[in-house]
Amino acid sequence: MAGDLSPNQVLKALAQSNGPILTAEAFPSMSFVKVKSALDTLKSRDMIIYSQIEREEVVLSPEGEGIAENGSHEAKVFEAVRASIDGLKLDDLPDIVGPVSAGVGKNTAMKARWIKMDGGRLKASTDTITDITREQLQAIQKTKSNPDARLVSGLKKRKLVTTQRVISFKVDKGTNFATELVKEETDLTADMIQSGAWKTAKLKPYNFKAMGAPNTSGALHPLNKVRHEFRQIFFEMGFEEMPTNRYVETGFWNFDALFIPQQHPARDIQDTFYISDPPSAGRPRADPSPQSSHSTNSPPEEAQQQKRLDYEAYWRNVVEVHQKGKYDSIGYRYPFNESESLRLVLRTHTTAVSTYMLHKLALDARPARYFSIDRVFRNESVDATHLAEFHQIEGVTADYGLTLGGLMGFMEVFFGKMGIHRLRFKPAYNPYTEPSLEIFGYHEGLGKWVEIGNSGMFRPEMLEPMGLPKDMRVYGWGLSLERPTMIKYAVQNIRELLGHKVDLGFVESNAAVRLEKD
Ligand code: PHE
């Protein structure tokens, strides 16, 4: 029987039978796989139950088939001898019954005393014989079995039969048995909703255990691969990853909290993307939910209740430090504009997130190391090395007694892990760090010094409004993910790395390195 076994065929066979059916009998020539597939479909709907049965089948060999049809060798010899009028000459036998039957058949027929040698000729000793072998084989042909194990093993030795293990199924009606399988819908479609067909449609349950189709295609983007390397370095050095899953920040978190004055050119429309709808956020509020402490020996519950992020107080501190100075700083001394602080921007650096994390750290001030690698946005004119968005790698370390020398030493270890062993530092300016350093690394491959990052010790004007202890120092640094990736993969134009101009072939040819779960 060619084709598949339809579930309906199984239902029909069951409906017609009084009890369970055996698939080997009901569908003898159907393959195991096809039978099982039809049964599983029905079983998943509880229309049937089934169990697997293994049994041994005895099947005739081609020689055995020949005997079942035409008789055994010995019977053929007997017939030939009996048919001769005056006996057969031994030499004539092969011509009449064939050489094989003549050889095997003559001896067996003589042992059975069906024929004898008489005066140099073969003569019949009886008129009728029973061809037992043929009968046995014919019986086996019908049932594919014989309870007499010795007989079967004898026939096997004579190469007239072989045995094989056959898996079959015993199938019985299930609780949802019906004579027909109703097609189950795999999708709820717009048509079904419009026509009302969904009311009566039978929906196929989801199979949450499905493994899905194996997927051997696809490749990691070079940026992802380099990101993975950086993450490993950070984790190795005991850094925690910061939650960077929000691109939109207020001017407060992106600039003000970092002691970036509101007139700073970075806040220009030429440099920063402002959100137009909605253009601004509401005033900061006190956090309604108490913060759980990070430390393992968390404080008693009442103490924890009091530990809330107080955004209002923080905001007031920031306004004050800008406007008239605080914490031994004279501030910028300009009228702070609240609405500027509430304007929504696409974050221009992930330092906005670091700031948020440091403010949170102040609840339970202790040494901490944070990092992030995520997207930032700058309203820049796009060229071969600049895009309006890129990925920033950022690290922040908070501890008591940190020094600038410590920052430089740390940079050497950090970049050393990336294979950059010669560093140079150049004084720089950031409104939120003092001192600030630009970091240059000697690139062996390119044979020149390249700028790889920006860093510095965060100013007290930024840290103290958060409530961090006066003697706690925090340093940080940032670099782009694109720069090292472009150098590593020898990409000249950043637009070939990010955006619609990326050549899939390029990504693929760099796909050789497969990363473990990121
Ligand atoms: N925010 C800086 C930048 O965007 C990087 C930086 C982070 C500098 C932390 C110092 C401290 O380049």
pLDDT tens for residues 151-203? 999 999 989 999 988 888 999 999 999 998 888 888 889 999 999 999 988 88
Listed in sequence order, the residues at least 6 apart from 194 whose beta carbon sits closer than 8 Å to its beta carbon are: none
Give 203-227 pLDDT, tens digit per residue.
888 888 888 777 777 778 889 999 9
Point out the ligand 1 atom lying closest to the alpha carbon of residue 376: 4
Q: Is the pLDDT of residue 19 over 50?
A: yes
SS3 percent helix, strand, coil of the chain, rounded to 5, is: 40, 20, 40
How far away, in angstroms, is 370 Cα from ligand 1 center?
Answer: 13
User: How many of the other CB atoms lie within 10 Å of CB of 383?
Assistant: 10
How far apart, in whole angstroms, are the C-alpha atoms of residue 497 and residue 482?
A: 8
Return the residue whose CA atom lies nearest to atom 10 of ligand 1: 455
Q: How far is CA 242 from CA 233, 369, 484, in A?
A: 15, 10, 21
Give 436-467 pLDDT, tens digit per residue.
999 998 887 778 898 989 999 999 999 999 99
Point out the ligand 1 atom lying closest to the alpha carbon of residue 478: 5
How far away, in angstroms, is 311 Cα from ligand 1 center?
Answer: 23
Beta bridge partner(s), residue 280: 343
- Res 506: pLDDT: 62
Point out the ligand 1 atom lying closest to the alpha carbon of residue 454: 8
How far apart, in whole angstroms, are the C-alpha atoms of residue 264 and residue 260?
A: 7
- Among 374, 402, 457, 477, name the best residue to mutate to test ligand 1's pocket (greatest count of ligand atoms within 8 A of Cβ): 477
How far away, in angstroms, is 181 Cα from ligand 1 center?
Answer: 66
Q: Is the pLDDT of residue 503 over 90?
A: no
How far apart, in whole angstroms, are the C-alpha atoms of residue 419 and residue 392?
A: 19
How far away, in angstroms, is 291 Cα from ligand 1 center?
Answer: 27
- Res 221: pLDDT: 86
How far apart, in whole angstroms, are the C-alpha atoms of residue 36 and residue 52?
A: 10
How far away, in angstroms, is 266 Cα from ligand 1 center?
Answer: 13
How far away, in angstroms, is 241 Cα from ligand 1 center?
Answer: 16
Domains and CATH numbers, the chain: 73-130 (1.10.10), 224-293+304-517 (3.30.930.10)
How far away, in angstroms, is 38 Cα from ligand 1 center?
Answer: 63
Considering the chain, what percentage of its residues have pLDDT values greater than 90? 56
Point out the ligand 1 atom lying closest to the alpha carbon of residue 455: 10
Listed in sequence order, the residues at least 6 apart from 54 whose beta carbon sits closer than 8 Å to its beta carbon are: 165, 166, 167, 168
Listed in sequence order, the residues at least 6 apart from 485 whose beta carbon sits closer than 8 Å to its beta carbon are: 222, 223, 226, 491, 497
User: How many of the other CB atoms lie within 10 Å of CB of 405?
Assistant: 8
- pLDDT confidence of 305, banded at 50, 70, 90? very low
Point out the ligand 1 atom lying closest to the alpha carbon of residue 350: 1
Q: What is the mean pLDDT of the chain?
A: 88
Point out the ligand 1 atom lying closest to the alpha carbon of residue 348: 4
Q: What is the mean pLDDT of residues 230-243?
A: 96
Q: Is the pLDDT of residue 290 over 70?
A: no
Ligand 1 pocket, residues with Cβ under 6 angstroms: 349, 351, 394, 430, 433, 454-456, 476-478
Return the residue whose CA atom lies nearest to atom 2 of ligand 1: 478
- pLDDT confidence of 507, banded at 50, 70, 90? low
How far away, in angstroms, is 476 Cα from ligand 1 center?
Answer: 7
What is the separation, in whole angstroms, between the first and last Cα of the chain? 50
* Phi, psi of 331, rounded to the nearest 5 degrees: 70, -170
Q: What is the DSSP string of 240-299?
A: EEP-----EEEHHHHTGGGT--TT-GGGSTTTSPBP-SS-B-----B-SSPPPPSSSSPP
- Res 505: pLDDT: 66
Return the residue whose CA atom lies nearest to atom 4 of ligand 1: 349
- pLDDT confidence of 2, banded at 50, 70, 90? low
Q: Cβ-count burial of 444 within 10 angstroms (0-12 exposed, 13-18 middle, 19+ buried)?
A: exposed
Give 87-104 pLDDT, tens digit per residue.
888 888 899 888 888 888
Asked if 116 and 122 touch (Cβ cutoff 8 Å), the reply is yes
Tokens of 199: 């009311």
User: How many of the other CB atoms lie within 10 Å of CB of 293?
Assistant: 15
How far away, in angstroms, is 354 Cα from ligand 1 center?
Answer: 10
How far away, in angstroms, is 284 Cα from ligand 1 center?
Answer: 24
Q: Cβ-count burial of 459 within 10 angstroms (0-12 exposed, 13-18 middle, 19+ buried)?
A: buried
How far away, in angstroms, is 427 Cα from ligand 1 center?
Answer: 14
- Res 518: pLDDT: 36
The distance from CA 408 to its chain's CA centroid, rounded to whole angstroms, is 41
How far away, in angstroms, is 282 Cα from ligand 1 center?
Answer: 27
- Among 376, 390, 394, name the best residue to mutate to test ligand 1's pocket (greatest count of ligand atoms within 8 A of Cβ): 394
How far apart, in whole angstroms, are the C-alpha atoms of residue 172 and residue 87?
A: 62
- Res 202: pLDDT: 84
- Among 396, 452, 454, 481, name the best residue to mutate to test ligand 1's pocket (greatest count of ligand atoms within 8 A of Cβ): 454
Question: Is the previous residue joined to 7 through a cis bond, with omega within 30 degrees of 0?
Answer: no
- Among 239, 271, 346, 349, name the best residue to mutate to test ligand 1's pocket (greatest count of ligand atoms within 8 A of Cβ): 349
Give 409-446 pLDDT, tens digit per residue.
999 999 889 888 899 999 999 999 999 999 998 887 77
Listed in sequence order, the residues at least 6 apart from 221 whose beta carbon sits closer than 8 Å to its beta carbon are: 502, 507
- pLDDT confidence of 65, banded at 50, 70, 90? very high
How far away, in angstroms, is 355 Cα from ligand 1 center?
Answer: 11
Point out the ligand 1 atom lying closest to the alpha carbon of residue 475: 11
Asked if 246 and 281 touch (Cβ cutoff 8 Å), the reply is no
Return the residue whose CA atom lies nearest to atom 5 of ligand 1: 478
